[in-house]
């Protein structure tokens, strides 16, 4: 499968720019920002570990909150392609 790239901002003590790369097994948030913990700079979220998603807003921007089975949640502002991003997650069984 072709990898898909989404330009996002991670909602973590403000908006932190980065990318989400989607492949057959997972989505991975990548950023070079040093102001966030190292474990969040290259955050891999396997489709099987995602409990669900919620489409919402961060301030006035279109956002998606990813709810993990472990209880953690990650909110991302998805620029330009929120609908396509949600459709991709749903195509991998994420509701």
pLDDT confidence band for 41 (50 / 70 / 90): very high
> Using CA atoms, how far apart are residues 36 and 53, in angstroms rounded to an integer?
23
Domains of the chain with CATH codes: 4-91 (2.30.29.30)
Model-level pTM? 0.91
Q: How many CB atoms lie within 10 A of CB 24?
A: 9
* pLDDT above 70: residue 63: yes
Residue corresponding to tokens 């790369």? 21
Distances (CA, A) of 14 to 36, 46, 52, 75, 94: 11, 25, 23, 11, 26
Mean pLDDT of the chain: 93
Mean pLDDT of 2-24: 92
Angle, vertex CA 54, rays to CA 26 and CA 4, nearest 5: 35
> Using CA atoms, how far apart are residues 41 and 62, in angstroms rounded to an integer?
22
């Amino acid at each position: 499968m072709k990898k898909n790239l989404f330009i996002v901002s991670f909602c973590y003590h403000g908006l932190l720019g980065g990318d989400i790369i989607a492949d057959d097994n997972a989505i991975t948030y990548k950023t070079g920002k040093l102001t966030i913990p190292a474990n969040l700079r290259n955050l891999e979220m396997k489709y099987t570990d995602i409990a669900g998603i919620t489409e919402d807003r961060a301030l006035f921007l279109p956002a998606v909150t990813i709810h993990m089975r472990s209880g953690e949640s990650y909110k991302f502002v998805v620029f330009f392609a929120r609908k396509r991003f949600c459709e991709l997650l749903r195509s991998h069984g994420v509701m």
